[in-house]
Amino acid sequence: MAVAHLAHSWRVDSPPETVFAHLTEPQHYIGLSPLVVEVRDVRRGTDEQGVPVTDYVAVERFRFLKVLRWDNLIRVRLRVVEPGAALRQSVVSPGGVRLEWTVRLTPDGDGTTVDDQMEITMAAPMRGFVTGQARGVQLHRATELTRRMARHG
């Protein structure tokens, strides 16, 4: 198995509590990730330690040669790491791909610095494709979250 680590930080024009509220709602990931086209089976609760969790299925849509499409159903568990300041999503995708995505929010003037970190585990032959897709999603997420939070600022 291969492991990749990706990190990206940027600033948005909304306070951490606004960004946190946005990122804890599964429906907001439609379009926040350019691959996610649907969210279903949302279940909220707590884990064994009493930490708030949200489990859901996200539908990632991949297009090949502009005419073929493949919908990849991924299971996601969103955990609150630190209320209002940090969350983690654990993703299980077909093909043995596992992703741990952590977001930390730090007050930055009247906005927020977003620290986005991913650890991805995959079969070695898939490393190039998976990390390329993940980096593209990470950069798109930064652009789209910045755009969305500009409306709230």
Other C-beta atoms closer than 10 Å to the C-beta of 117 total: 16
Q: Give the pTM.
A: 0.89
N-to-C CA span, the chain: 42
- Residue corresponding to tokens 């297009």: 63
For the chain, the C-alpha Rg in angstroms (whole number) is 15
What residue ranges define each of the domains in the chain, with the CATH number in brackets?
A: 2-152 (3.30.530.20)
Strands of 2-12's sheet in order across: 2-12, 111-122, 97-108, 86-93, 68-82, 52-64, 36-46
pLDDT values of the chain reduced to their tens digit, one per residue, 153 residues: 899 999 999 999 999 999 999 999 999 999 998 889 999 999 999 988 888 899 999 998 887 777 888 888 999 999 999 989 999 999 988 888 999 999 999 999 999 999 999 999 999 999 998 899 899 999 999 999 999 999 665
Distance of CA 106 to the CA centre of its chain: 17
